[in-house]
Structure 1
Amino acid sequence: MRLFALEHSKAAYLADFALYGAAVLALAVALGFFGPEGRGAELAATALLGLGAWTLVEYGLHRFVLHGLQPFRRWHALHHAHPAALICTPTLLSAALIALLVFLPALLLSDLWRACALTLGLLTGYLAYAVVHHALHHGMAPGRWLQRRRHWHALHHRAGDPGDCYGVTTALWDRVFGTGHRPDADRKA
């Protein structure tokens, strides 16, 4: 198994879900059972802040990194060309980035418990994104919410112009930044 492969074996692809699921569970248990007394509400709010922040991070990464910066743009183009392939960010890379860009700065600016709570929220968002994205591309979309997400993501993947609909788990930031679905783009494609 190559550590930095873009297209994963089924085992490596599923290991990503297992690793992040275990990390979310471990952080939640650590905060819930070993966290400082009297700070539960504060830490829960910090985790919710991390979860909310994930939605903006997801949008920004997808729009500006995966569709803007090389070599990420070229790598992401593989996903657009082969949407059912098991292509995702190598786990080692995503885990290192989360540790270096989320946990470490939060630890340096605050304390261990807030850093864990913020990271828990962001990791929960990342895991939710991974599960939703997998469901959208691999035929598992029961329920109205997932059906709407699938339609939105299909608009992003349409041939010719993937220039909108960057949000996977929410359309909020596409609406805020004006990158939501534009019917006039359908006529041009």
Structure 2
Amino acid sequence: MVAQGFVVDLNKPLVFQVGHLGESYQEWVHQPIVSKEGPRFFESDFWEFLTLTKWWVIPIVWLPVVAWFFSKSIRLGHTIPEVAAMVVFGIFIWTLVEYSLHRFVFHIKTKSYWGNTIHYLIHGCHHKHPMDGLRLVFPPAAAAVLSVPFWNLVKFMNTPTTAPGLFAGGLLGYVMYDVTHYYLHHGQPTSEMPKGLKKYHLNHHFRVQTKGFGITSSLWDKVYGTLPPTELEKKSK
């Protein structure tokens, strides 16, 4: 595709190409290519490997960490029901984090070389190739790095005994988010709730990409007025 005189060659590694699109990057990245075959990101096999993650790696890596933080609050004197309540609250907080990251970070407008490049790595690639099954969940190495400031923030805002339980809930919320996100793209739900959630999310990809930022629920879209219009509302405009 030609943008500002630059041709993106889909047969070559993409990451260091997309920055050259400049202001045309936003239009380019939101024109999806619907294929289960993902693009190559890097020339280096090592860096390419780090971008590829099977969905089942997420619960295998992070659920033991969730269990460890859960048990730590118990070891520090809380009962199981108390820690369970902390976990539920942590999951609730995660839903707000999920919405905020998706809306204000993943959908930030960029036009500089490095802005486009970084945006493509963290989320633009998903909108360009929404069915790439190996880049739908967050690589554990990157998630581990990002979890450190989140853990420090939770410790700063809570007591030493409650912080582990709350962090366990937030981390469990993240695991639920990542596996749900994969399922919404590649699963075939048969019951009404997951069917509705899949339709809601694919609507964000293929119809109204500036609305519908919730993944595991539409709660915060309702709170902050970013629900996508219904087909009826769309026809009435």
Asked if structure 1 preserves the Cα contact closer than 8 Å seen for 2:89 and 2:166, the reply is: yes
Asked if structure 2 preserves the Cα contact closer than 8 Å seen for 1:104 and 1:115, the reply is: no
AA partner of residue 80 (structure 1)? H
Q: 1:125 to 1:57 in 2, by over 3 A?
A: same
Render the CA deviation track for 1:10-47: whole Å, top value 9, x for unaligned.
4xx53223111222233334444x2415x555433332
Asked if structure 2 preserves the Cα contact closer than 8 Å seen for 1:4 and 1:92, the reply is: no
Render the CA deviation track for 1:120-174: whole Å, top value 9, x for unaligned.
1101110111111111111242422111110100110115x41111101010111
**TM-fit CA distance, 1:6:** 6.8
Aligned residues: 182
AA partner of residue 79 (structure 1)? H
Render the CA deviation track for 1:73-95: whole Å, top value 9, x for unaligned.
32312111212212133322222
AA partner of residue 36 (structure 1)? G
RMSD: 2.7
Of 136, 155, 171 in structure 1, the residue corresponding to residue 184 of structure 2 is 136
Q: Hey, what's the Cα distance between the residues in 2 that align with 1:152 and 1:173?
A: 13
Residue 74 (structure 1) aligned with residue 120 (structure 2)? yes
Three-state SS of the structure 1 residue aligned to 2:170 is helix
Asked if structure 1 preserves the Cα contact closer than 8 Å seen for 2:131 and 2:186, the reply is: yes
Q: Percent identity?
A: 29
Matches within 5 A, 1:9-20: 9-10=53-54, 13-20=55-62
TM norm structure 1: 0.81
AA partner of residue 73 (structure 1)? H
Q: 1:4 to 1:56 in 2, by over 3 A?
A: farther
Aligned residue in 1 for 2:66: 24
Which stretch shifts more, 143-152 or 1-10?
A: 1-10
Asked if structure 2 preserves the Cα contact closer than 8 Å seen for 1:3 and 1:90, the reply is: no
AA partner of residue 54 (structure 1)? W
Of 70, 77, 84 in structure 2, the residue corresponding to residue 36 of structure 1 is 77
AA partner of residue 191 (structure 2)? G
Q: Hey, what's the Cα distance between the residues in 1 that align with 2:86 and 2:53?
A: 35
Q: 1:176 to 1:108 in 2, by over 3 A?
A: closer
Render the CA deviation track for 1:33-73: whole Å, top value 9, x for unaligned.
x2415x55543333222111011100001111111164553
Asked if structure 2 preserves the Cα contact closer than 8 Å seen for 1:106 and 1:114, the reply is: no
**TM-fit CA distance, 1:105:** 2.4
Q: Hey, what's the Cα distance between the residues in 2 that align with 1:98 and 1:128?
A: 16
* Greater C-alpha radius of gyration: 2
Q: Hey, what's the Cα distance between the residues in 2 that align with 1:136 and 1:89?
A: 15
Of 93, 105, 113 in structure 2, the residue corresponding to residue 53 of structure 1 is 93
Stretches of structure 1 that go unaligned for 5 or more consecutive residues are none
Asked if structure 1 preserves the Cα contact closer than 8 Å seen for 2:212 and 2:227, the reply is: yes
Residue 182 (structure 1) aligned with residue 222 (structure 2)? no
Aligned residue in 1 for 2:145: 96
AA partner of residue 163 (structure 2)? A
TM norm structure 2: 0.66
Aligned residue in 1 for 2:41: none
